[in-house]
Amino acid sequence: MVTCARMAAEGNGTPSAHFVLLGFSELGNVQLALFVLFLVMYVITVLGNVGLLLLIRLLAQLHTPMYFFLSSLSLLDLCYSSCITPRLLRDLLAEDKAISHAACLAQFYFYVAFATTECYLLAAMAYDRYVAICQPLLYPLSMSPRICVLLVAGSCLAGVTNATLHTGLALRLSFCGPNVIDHFYCEGPPLFALSCTDPAPNELAMFLMAGFHLAATILAILVSYASILAAVLGARSAAGTRKAFSTCASHLAAVLLLYGSLLAMYSRRSSRSSRLRDKVASVFYTTVTPMLNPFIYSLRNQEMKGLSMGLTTV
C-alpha cells in the first residue's frame, strides 16, 4: 500500500518525512526464510571478519603491508554489512517498516562512504601486490608503514568526500508524494525516484561519480595486474608463477565479486526498472561480499593456510 510522506512546514519550512522500505515484500510468504538466511549470513560475516582481524593482530608473522590492508578490508566489511543488514533483519519481521528521513539519509551516507572506500582499498591492495612481485627490492621502502597508512587514509577520504557530496545533494530534495522505497535500504536511485523536486542533478551526479570512481579504481587494478603478468611471464619460472598467482588469486576473486555486482547496479543512469535485479545485485555487494572475503583470503592464501594448519596441530 502506497502512503503519502508526512510533511511539516514548521520553522523555516524544511519538510520532514518518513519512508517505508518495501524490502522483499513482493516475495510474499518467504519473509521468515529470508530472515533466517540473512541472519546466518550476518553472523558468518561478523565471526569471519572479527576472527581474521584477531588472527592478523595476534600473529607477528602477519604484520606485513599485505595483511595491514587485509585487516583494513575486514574492518570495512564489518562496518559495511552492519550499516545494512541489521535494519534489513528488523524489517523482515516488523509490520512497520518505516524509517525516518534522517535515518534514511544517514544510512545512505555510510553506505556510499563504505562502498567507495572499499573500491579504493582494493586498488591499493593491487598496487601492493604489484610492488611485492615486480619491485621486491624496493618493497620495504615503497610500502613502508607510513605509506600504507596514507593509502588507507586516502581511501577513507575518497569515501567520505563522495558520501558528503551525494548526501548534500540529497538534502535539496523534497518529498510530497508516495513514500515507499522499493528497496531494502536507502539506496540512491530508488530514493531519488520519490522526490517531487527534479532529481536529475542527483541522478547525473551519482552516475558520473560512480563511473569515475569505478573507472579509476578498475584502471589502477588492471594496470597493476598487467604489470604483474608481464613480470611473471618474463621470469619464465614455474615456481615463481605459482607463487605470484597464489598471492593474487584471492584479491582478484574479491575484486570480481564486488565490481561485478556494482557494475550490474550502476551500469545505467536510472534504476527505476528491473527493481528485483537491483535488489539481487545489492545483496551481493552489501551482504555476500563482506561474508565471503575472509574465507576467500583464508582459503586462497598459502600463509593463512599454513598458520591455520599449525594452530590446529597445537
Global pTM reads 0.85
Q: Which of 137-146, 174-183, 215-224, 251-260 has the lowest mean pLDDT?
A: 251-260
* Higher per-residue confidence, 268 vs 149: 149
Q: Which of 137-146, 148-157, 299-308 has the lowest mean pLDDT?
A: 299-308
Q: How far apart are CA 308 and CA 294, in angstroms?
A: 13
CA-CA distance, 190 to 204, in Å (whole number)? 14
The full set of domain ranges for the chain reads 20-313
Cell 540512491 -> residue: 188
Q: What percent of the chain has pLDDT over 70?
A: 82
Q: What is residue 125's predicted lDDT score, i.e. its pLDDT? A: 93
pLDDT at 272 over 50: no
Among 12-21, 36-45, 251-260, whose mean pLDDT is lowest?
12-21
What pLDDT does 24 receive? 84
pLDDT score of 9 more than 90: no
CA 66 to CA 129: how far, in whole Å? 8
pLDDT bin (cut points 50, 70, 90) of residue 293 is: confident
Q: Is the pLDDT of residue 299 over 70?
A: no
Task: Dig out the grid coordinates for 82 from the structure.
Answer: 552492519
User: pLDDT digit string (tens) for 71-104?
Assistant: 999 999 999 999 999 999 999 988 888 999 999 9
Q: What is the pLDDT of residue 11?
A: 36
Nearest to 167 by CA among 103, 78, 105, 101: 105
Q: Given this model, what pLDDT does residue 279 score? A: 82
Q: Are strands 98-100 and 180-181 parallel, antiparallel or unpaired?
A: unpaired
Backbone angles phi, psi at 20, to 5 degrees: -120, 120
Where does the pLDDT of residue 241 fall: very low under 50, low under 70, confident under 90, or very high at 90 and above? low
The CATH superfamily holding the domain 20-313 is Rhodopsin 7-helix transmembrane proteins (1.20.1070.10)
Q: State the Cα–Cα distance between residues 247 and 133, nearest whole angstrom.
A: 9
To the nearest whole number, what is the mean pLDDT of the chain? 82
pLDDT for residue 307: 55
Give pLDDT, residue 280. Answer: 79
Tell me what pLDDT residue 233 has: 77
Q: Spell out the alpha helix ranges (H) of the chain.
A: 31-58, 65-93, 101-134, 139-142, 145-170, 188-192, 200-235, 238-266, 275-283, 289-300, 302-313
Residue 93 confidence (pLDDT): 87
Average pLDDT over residues 253-258: 81
Q: Report the percentage of the chain scoring pLDDT > 90.
A: 43
- What is the pLDDT averaged over residues 131-154? 92
Least confident segment among 15-29, 135-149, 234-248: 234-248
> What is the per-residue pLDDT for 270?
47
pLDDT of residue 231 exceeding 90, the answer is no
- What phi and psi values does residue 23 have, to the nearest 5 degrees? 65, -130
Q: Does 159 score more than 90 pLDDT?
A: yes
